[in-house]
Amino acid sequence: MFAERFHMSEGLLRMLNPRKDYLKREETLHVVSVGRSLPSNEARTVETDKTNGMVRALDATGKVIAMHPATIGSEETPSPEGEYQVVRVVKNATYHYDPIKNFQQGNNKRRLALPKGPNNPVGTVWIELSKPTFGIHGTPEPSRISKASSHGCVRLTNWDAEELAQIVRPGTTVRFIE
């Protein structure tokens, strides 16, 4: 929780705080200062670069206003091609799984609704796209971004998904590029 909150790996948190008891209320921890301010512009286009595993938000002039590492699809369940639009942004979404509409998860053949929160499969933000069942979302495992595949969606760390959610609106173009 502390590592994610301060945008750092668990290993770096442990290295900066050797011999600390993370459960003690009065314990002082050293963390990374992430005092980055949000872009003031609204994103007009979001490019998801499948080859480089990056998401770029561009303003009306085409200037990059945000850029984030991402996990974009997989060979088994690739992300779509082409252009779509943001339909809606949902913070702390309940995750709905339907094996008929989505991918097959193990032997499960029934629909599931997993409670909202940072540890559900879409993390703290779901940015729904006009392509059914596809979106840009957070993750409960930020250390796996760019290192593991997704089921076709675009996965960001929760903090990057939250930043992107603040600068996109319904109608924002999302372009998948190779």
Name the DSSP class of 64: E
Express each pLDDT in 137-168 by its tens digit: 998 887 777 766 666 689 999 889 999 999 99
Confidence bin at 84 (pLDDT 50/70/90): very high
Domain identity same for 25 and 69: no
Confidence bin at 119 (pLDDT 50/70/90): confident
Are the beta carbons of 176 and 81 closer than 8 angstroms?
yes
Domain identity same for 104 and 55: yes
Check whether 14 has a pLDDT greater than 80: yes
What's the mean pLDDT when you consider all of the chain? Answer: 84
Domain identity same for 96 and 167: yes
Can you tell me the mean pLDDT for 84-89?
Answer: 98
Active-site amino acid positions:
137, 153
Domain identity same for 139 and 154: yes
Tokens of 63: 């200037």
Amino acid at 68: H
Tokens of 131: 């392509």
CB contact burial 86-116 (16+ within 10 A = b; e otherwise): bbebbeebebebeeeebeeeeeeeeeeeeeb
Q: How many domains does the chain have?
A: 2
- Can you give the pTM of this predicted structure? 0.77
Cite the DSSP H helix spans in the chain. Answer: 2-5, 10-16, 158-167
Range of the domain at 12: 1-35
Please tell me the predicted confidence (pLDDT) of residue 63. 92
Which domain CATH number covers 79? 2.40.440.10
Check whether 108 has a pLDDT greater than 90: no
Confidence bin at 9 (pLDDT 50/70/90): confident
DSSP β-bridge partners for residue 55:
48, 68
Considering only CA atoms, which of 138, 141, 131, 142 is closest in space to residue 78? 131
Amino acid at 81: E
Amino acid at 86: V
DSSP β-bridge partners for residue 177:
49
Domain identity same for 19 and 79: no
Distance CA 173, CA 121 (A): 24
Domain identity same for 76 and 104: yes
